[in-house]
Amino acid sequence: MGTEWQRTYLHGSGRMMEANTSISSADSTPLLRRIDASGIPLLVTRLFLGGLFVWMGCSKIAEPFDFLKLIRQYEMLPESPGIFLNSVAITLPWIEVFAGGALILGLFLRGGAASILIMLLVFTPAIFLRAMAIHNAAGTPFFDIKFDCGCGSGDVIIWKKLLSNTGLVLLALYALLSPSRKMCLEGRVGRRKCQSSLDLAGSPCCEEVDPAQ
């Protein structure tokens, strides 16, 4: 028999209102969940990942033709008609900026994290395939291959890039799945809704409080 969360909600004057108060046995909240509930790991993740994508997006917006030439090299889209490649070059940097901004602000957080996750899951295999093509065509050892992958950092050693991208995928997954909403605008917006509503079930503003704390 595990511990059940006591759902408590902040309402208006700040008085705690109780609902679903059945609690049993001692606290068995996993350590990781308690750390996550502090909001600190998610905040660090949001600021790092969001800042990185805002910076990458801005560097591409500043040099659109360089980015266009880079995405052409991946051969993921036809060159003719030009609308396909050009549309990606025009819109993708802005999606990176908005997704990064969403993470930093903690607003549309899951959408931002999902956007970043999708971009990473599309481009990371593309980088790998391009590296393999170079390896097969020129015989260059895989761990010596370097090129500009279009990330805004210039030429990079590809195996290191693939490793770092894997880490970014994990961070994006964490940002997507973490239930914490501390220190983010989403949490504040939700709290204001709570103050004017008694909708207790499934409300995004509801903060689950460990009764043992």
Residue from 63, 75, 199, 208 touching another protein (CB under 8 A): that is 63
- Alpha carbons within 13 angstroms on the beta-carbon side of residue 112 total 27
SS3 157: strand
* Contact of 209 with 18, CB cutoff 8 Å: no
Is 52 near another protein (CB under 8 A)? no
Q: How many angstroms separate the CA atoms of 44 and 209, rounded?
A: 22
Q: How many residues bind another protein (CB under 8 A)?
A: 38
* DSSP H helix total and E strand total for the chain: 7, 5
Q: Taking CB under 8 A as the rule, which mask of x and - marks residues 94-133 in contact with another protein?
A: xxxxxx--x-----xxxxxxxx--x---------------
Which tokens belong to 7?
């759902």
Nearer to another protein, 95 or 200 (CB): 95
Q: Smallest distance from the beta carbon of 125 to another protein, in angstroms? A: 20
Q: How many angstroms separate the CA atoms of 150 and 36, rounded?
A: 33
Write out the binding residues for another protein, residues 68-87 only, by CB under 8 A: 68, 72, 79-83, 85-87
Binding site for another protein (CB under 8 A): 61-65, 68, 72, 79-83, 85-87, 89-99, 102, 108-115, 118, 176, 204
